[in-house]
Amino acid sequence: MALAIHGLNASYGDVRVLWDVSLEVGEGEIVALIGNNGAGKSSLLGAISGLVHIDSGSVTYAGRELAHLPPDAVVRAGVIQVPQNRRLFGALTVRENLLMGAYLRSDKEVDADLERVLILLPRLRERYDYLAGRLSGGEQQMVAIARGLMGRPKMLLIDEMSLGLAPVLVDQLLEILQQIHASGVAILMVEQDVQTALEFAERAYVLETGRIILSGPAAQLLDDPSVKKAYLGV
C-alpha cells in the first residue's frame, strides 16, 4: 500500500478527535472518506499532513514513517493536501499562487509543470494575472488543485472539493481529478457529498465521531442500507 495508517489517535490539545483509525490507499487508487460534519475527516487529513498532533499510531507512505514529521517534510515525501475552503493567497495573482505550490522545489522543471497545469486547467490561463481573491468559487478550487499539482504529488489529499459549488462545476472538477488520477497520482478525498464521492471512488471508509465504522468497495457502500439511511436520506 502507498499510504498505510494504523491505530492512529490524534487530538487538538486535550481534545481527542481520532480514535484508533486504520486506513489504506493503494498506489494509484482513489479512496473516499465520508461522514457527517464533525466526524473527524479533515482532522485525519491534517494528521497525515503534519498539521494535527498525533498522539499514537503510524502513518507510512511508500514505507516511510510520516507521523510527527513537519508539513514540509510530508510534502517533500510526495503527499500534498488541497485544503478545505481553498486557502489561497487572495492578494496574489493566479500565477503567484501556483508558484507557491512549488516553493520547496529547486529543480528546473517548474516552468514546464506550470505549463502542464495550465493545459489541464485552461481557465486558469485566462485568469493568469487575476488576483485569486477576485475569482469565482469554482475558479478558486481550480487554483487550489493546480497549486497542489505544482508540488509534484504522488498522492493528493482533497478536502471537501465540492463545498459551495454548483453541481456542473463539481462535475468539471471531477473530470480534472480523473485526468490527474490517470497520470498515476493516488487520491484520498474527503467529501460530504456522499453520493458523488462513492460514485467517483474505488473504495471508501465511513468515519463517525473519530472512528472508522465501515469500509469496502465504494459501489458496495453506495448500496449499503445503513449508508443510504444515514447519508443519502433513503
d(CA 133, CA 139): 10
148 and 163 co-located in one domain: no
- Confidence at 72, pLDDT banded by 50, 70, 90: very high
Residue-level pLDDT at 234: 57
Average pLDDT, integer, range 153-163: 94
Question: Which tens digit of pLDDT belongs to each residue from 98-116?
Answer: 999 999 988 999 999 999 9
CATH number of the domain where residue 204 is located:
3.40.50.300
Please check the confidence at residue 92 and state whether its pLDDT lies above 70. Answer: yes
Domain C-terminal end among 101, 124, 152: 152
To the nearest whole percent, how much of the chain has pLDDT over 90? 87
d(CA 212, CA 44): 11
Strands 53-61 and 30-34 turn out to be unpaired
1 and 73 co-located in one domain: yes
Residue-level pLDDT at 231: 86
d(CA 207, CA 151): 28
Average pLDDT, integer, range 195-224: 96
**Alpha helix positions (H), 121-217:** 122-126, 137-149, 167-182, 194-200
66 and 163 co-located in one domain: yes
Q: Which residue has the higher pLDDT, 164 or 27?
A: 27
Domain C-terminal end among 152, 171, 194: 152
Please check the confidence at residue 229 and state whether its pLDDT lies above 70. Answer: yes
Average pLDDT, integer, range 112-135: 96
* Phi, psi dihedral angles at 133 (to 5 degrees): -70, -15
Residue-level pLDDT at 216: 97
Structural domain harbouring 50: 1-78+159-234
Query: Which letter, b or e, does each residue of 68-88 get, where b requires 16 or more Cβ atoms within 10 Å of its Cβ?
Result: ebeeeebbebbbbbbbbebeb
Average pLDDT over the chain, rounded to whole?
94
Question: Which tens digit of pLDDT belongs to each residue from 3-19?
Answer: 999 999 999 999 999 99
- Confidence at 232, pLDDT banded by 50, 70, 90: confident
* Phi, psi dihedral angles at 22 (to 5 degrees): -125, 135
143 and 164 co-located in one domain: no
Q: How many domains does the chain have?
A: 2
108 and 147 co-located in one domain: yes
Domain C-terminal end among 132, 152, 172: 152
Residue-level pLDDT at 1: 63
Q: Which residue has the higher pLDDT, 182 or 105?
A: 182
230 and 167 co-located in one domain: yes
Average pLDDT, integer, range 148-170: 93
94 and 68 co-located in one domain: no
195 and 140 co-located in one domain: no
Average pLDDT, integer, range 51-55: 96
